[in-house]
Amino acid sequence: MRERRLFLAALLLLGGCMVGPDYHRPAAIVPTHYKELSGWVVAQPQETINRGAWWSIFNDPVLDSLERQVAVSNQTIRADVAAYFQARALVNEARAGLYPTLSANTGVTRQSSSRGSLSGGGTTASFSAQPVTATDYTLEGTGAWDLDLWGAIRRQVQANVAAAQVSAADLAEAELSEQAALASDYFQLREADADEKLLQDTVVAFQRSLVITQNQYNAGVAARSDVLAALVQVQNAQVSAIAVGVARAEFEHAIAVLIGKPPADLTIPPGTLANDVPVVPAGIPSTLLERRPDIAAAERTMDEENALIGVQVAAYYPVVDLSAVFGYVGNPIGSLIQLSNRLWSLGANATESLFQGGERSAAVAAAEAAYDESVANYRNTVLTAFQGIEDQLSSLRILAEEYKAQEEAVASATEEVTITLNEYEAGTIAYTSVVVAQTTQLADQESLLTVQQNRLLASVSLIEDLGGGWNADELPTANALQQSNPLLPN
């Protein structure tokens, strides 16, 4: 009894052994502050980002209704959801290897053999063979159990858990990316609306100028060329207003696909371009590691690759498994289950490869290199994330300055148009001066719309680069992933 207990204790002790390195998250290159925030005080910073509905900071009901359809109907996200459930299933598939496999077998065997007999005597003796037929019934159960003494299966479970977490982070990243793409398309569509409205207003203004030139011509104080120049301006503005519809239609079609609808099923009424540009606080740089799903995915990939090193190292050691058979064989079937027909066996088997020509060491080296690659990718993902934030912070700062300067240019150009048109009516300047002034005014007004659009796009990109309110604690835990199959014990 004592030896038996010692044997079981040894099995339990070995069962807790896992060869290969344990995972510790490598350090990333994280700055102490954001360079682009130095000396820049945001006038009205947005205090928080609403988790799951970050777009609400733009206060646009149409945008809100569109964004809420992305997670439900977007086909890219649905594909990522399916990939996540596949990764979850692989966790349970690997975890099943920790438990014994049991199987049952029933069968019937009918066989014939010859039985010889000797008859007569002396010189008249003879030998004859008589066929004998017998039927055997079998009922048995078998079991096998890989003891996983070196942790190969448990390391594979660890790797699959990390892979499922990578898939969950990829899903969050895909959802954020699709939402940001929709917001960007939406603001570009609204810029097209604003540009079309501007051009329509410009057509009206140019038509007034055309009336003035026509009156001047009728009075004999202006040339026919002035009338033609004014007419050309009206016609060019009308053409430009029509051409804007091409870009608008394309953005509307793109939005339809993002919310999982055919373009023919979505119509977005014209609207205005937002005046307010929210700037969310960047926070402390170190917190970014927990706020971006792509960084979380890269970090979980390192854990996965680290566990796979253990899987390869475990292959150096012998595989030990137990097997058992218990059942009955006999005839007739009505009395099959009885002591005389019982059979059983217990076995233990250890398998060890003695020579593989360096295959095992090469596999370990490859796993270690894959881990090193994942570390480099993780650190590069972190650096790229900080680059994106610095880019958007600088864009928002510079574009705010540009917008202010462009507003002043529009005001000056508008005043110049008023003055030159009055001077033309007074007959002190040629109409070409009016054309130049009006052309400059339209260009400045369109530039102002472009700058405003770029500010909104930069705001969306900054929110995306900051993770859109996501946090790493939203990833499923290892316990949760391993409890998803109720048929398996914890």
Residues 204 and 288 in one domain: yes
As a whole number of angstroms, the distance between CA 205 and CA 291 comes to 50
As a whole number of angstroms, the distance between CA 325 and CA 139 comes to 11
Query: Confidence band (pLDDT; 50, 70, 90) for 229?
Result: very high
Please check the confidence at residue 341 and state whether its pLDDT lies above 80. Answer: no
Indicate which CATH number applies to the domain containing 139.
2.20.200.10
pLDDT given for residue 98 in this prediction: 82
Q: Please list, in sequence order, all residues whose beta carbon lies within 8 angstroms of the beta carbon of residue 405, skipping any fewer than 6 positions away.
A: none
Report residue 147 CA to chain centroid gap.
37
Q: Please list, in sequence order, all residues whose beta carbon lies within 8 angstroms of the beta carbon of residue 163, skipping any fewer than 6 positions away.
A: 87, 90, 300, 304
As a whole number of angstroms, the distance between CA 423 and CA 430 comes to 9
pLDDT given for residue 422 in this prediction: 93
Contact 443, 416 (CB under 8 A): no
Please check the confidence at residue 489 and state whether its pLDDT lies above 50. Answer: no
Residue type, 275: N
**Domain annotation covers residue 304:** yes
Would you tell me how many other CB atoms lie within 10 Å of the CB of residue 376?
13
Please check the confidence at residue 191 and state whether its pLDDT lies above 60. Answer: yes
Instruction: Give 330-340 pLDDT, tens digit per residue.
Output: 676 656 666 66
Residues 21 and 138 in one domain: no
Q: What rounded mean pLDDT belongs to the chain?
A: 86
How many helices and strands in the chain, by DSSP H and E? Answer: 11, 4
Please check the confidence at residue 130 and state whether its pLDDT lies above 90. Answer: no
Indicate which CATH number applies to the domain containing 437.
1.20.1600.10
Q: Classify residue 379 by burial, with Cβ atoms within 10 Å: 0-12, 13-18, 19+.
A: middle
pLDDT given for residue 488 in this prediction: 41
The DSSP code for 484 is S
pLDDT given for residue 7 in this prediction: 45
**Of the residues 351, 373, 402, the one at which a domain ends:** 351
Residue type, 437: A
pLDDT given for residue 146 in this prediction: 83
The DSSP code for 333 is G
Edge-to-edge, what's the strand order for the sheet holding 126-146?
A: 101-119, 126-146, 319-330, 342-351
> Which residues share a beta bridge with 319?
351
Query: Confidence band (pLDDT; 50, 70, 90) for 68?
Result: very high
Q: Among the ranges 120-124, 159-163, 317-321, which has the highest mean pLDDT value? A: 159-163
pLDDT given for residue 104 in this prediction: 86
**Domain annotation covers residue 11:** no
Q: How far is the CA of 254 from the CAs of 190, 245, 468, in angstroms? A: 14, 14, 21
Q: Whole domain around residue 399: which residue ranges?
A: 17-99+150-316+359-482
Question: How much is the pTM?
Answer: 0.85
Nearest Cα to 302, choosing from 348, 368, 351, 236?
Answer: 368
Lowest-pLDDT range of 118-132, 192-206, 246-260, 290-304: 118-132
Q: Please list, in sequence order, all residues whose beta carbon lies within 8 angstroms of the beta carbon of residue 391, skipping any fewer than 6 positions away.
A: 461
Residues 251 and 346 in one domain: no
pLDDT given for residue 124 in this prediction: 60
**Domain annotation covers residue 7:** no
pLDDT given for residue 406 in this prediction: 97
The radius of gyration of the chain's CA atoms, rounded to the nearest angstrom, is: 39
| Residue 25: HSE in the Cβ half-sphere, 13 Å Cα cutoff | 15
Find the helix packing angle between 293-314 and 359-425, rounded to 10°. Answer: 170
Query: Confidence band (pLDDT; 50, 70, 90) for 164?
Result: very high
Lowest-pLDDT range of 53-62, 189-198, 332-341, 474-483: 332-341
Q: Please list, in sequence order, all residues whose beta carbon lies within 8 angstroms of the beta carbon of residue 92, skipping any fewer than 6 positions away.
A: 482, 484, 485, 488
pLDDT given for residue 441 in this prediction: 96
Please check the confidence at residue 128 and state whether its pLDDT lies above 80. Answer: no
Residues 400 and 468 in one domain: yes
**Domain annotation covers residue 5:** no
Phi-psi bin for 260: left (phi > 0), alpha (psi -120 to 50), beta?
left
DSSP helix/strand/coil, 130:
strand
As a whole number of angstroms, the distance between CA 78 and CA 424 comes to 63
Please check the confidence at residue 117 and state whether its pLDDT lies above 90. Answer: no
Residues 341 and 471 in one domain: no
Peptide bond preceding 31: is omega within 30 degrees of 0, i.e. cis?
A: no
Nearest Cα to 475, choosing from 307, 313, 297?
Answer: 297
Looking at the 3D structure of the chain, how many domains does it have? 2
Q: Please list, in sequence order, all residues whose beta carbon lies within 8 angstroms of the beta carbon of residue 444, skipping any fewer than 6 positions away.
A: 406, 409, 410, 413
Instruction: Give 276-323 pLDDT, tens digit per residue.
Output: 999 888 888 988 999 999 999 999 999 999 999 999 998 888 888 888
Residues 269 and 366 in one domain: yes
Nearest Cα to 458, choosing from 384, 395, 398, 385?
Answer: 395
Largest Cα–Cα distance in the chain? 159
Please check the confidence at residue 1 and state whether its pLDDT lies above 60. Answer: no
Q: Please list, in sequence order, all residues whose beta carbon lies within 8 angstroms of the beta carbon of residue 358, skipping any fewer than 6 positions away.
A: none
| Residue 463: HSE in the Cβ half-sphere, 13 Å Cα cutoff | 33
DSSP 90-101: HHHHHHGGGS-E
Token output for 433: 């001066």
As a whole number of angstroms, the distance between CA 62 and CA 267 comes to 11
Query: Confidence band (pLDDT; 50, 70, 90) for 250?
Result: very high
Report residue 453 CA to chain centroid gap.
27
pLDDT, mean of residues 350-376: 88
Token output for 329: 């064989």
pLDDT given for residue 41 in this prediction: 61
Lowest-pLDDT range of 300-309, 347-356, 408-417: 347-356
As a whole number of angstroms, the distance between CA 413 and CA 353 comes to 85
**Domain annotation covers residue 2:** no
DSSP H or E run through 56 = none
Please check the confidence at residue 51 and state whether its pLDDT lies above 90. Answer: no
Residues 236 and 370 in one domain: yes
Q: Which residue has the tokens 């050309």?
A: 232
Lowest-pLDDT range of 97-106, 194-203, 264-273, 449-458: 97-106
DSSP helix/strand/coil, 323:
strand
Residues 374 and 449 in one domain: yes
Residues 260 and 285 in one domain: yes
Residues 89 and 141 in one domain: no
pLDDT given for residue 333 in this prediction: 62
Lowest-pLDDT range of 69-83, 362-376, 447-461: 69-83
Query: Confidence band (pLDDT; 50, 70, 90) for 121?
Result: low
DSSP H or E run through 330 = strand 319-330
Locate all alpha helices (DSSP H) within 426-467, ordered by sequence. 431-465
Contact 142, 325 (CB under 8 A): yes
Residues 214 and 259 in one domain: yes
Please check the confidence at residue 345 and state whether its pLDDT lies above 90. Answer: no
Residues 72 and 207 in one domain: yes
Instruction: Give the β-pairing of 126-146 and 319-330.
Output: antiparallel
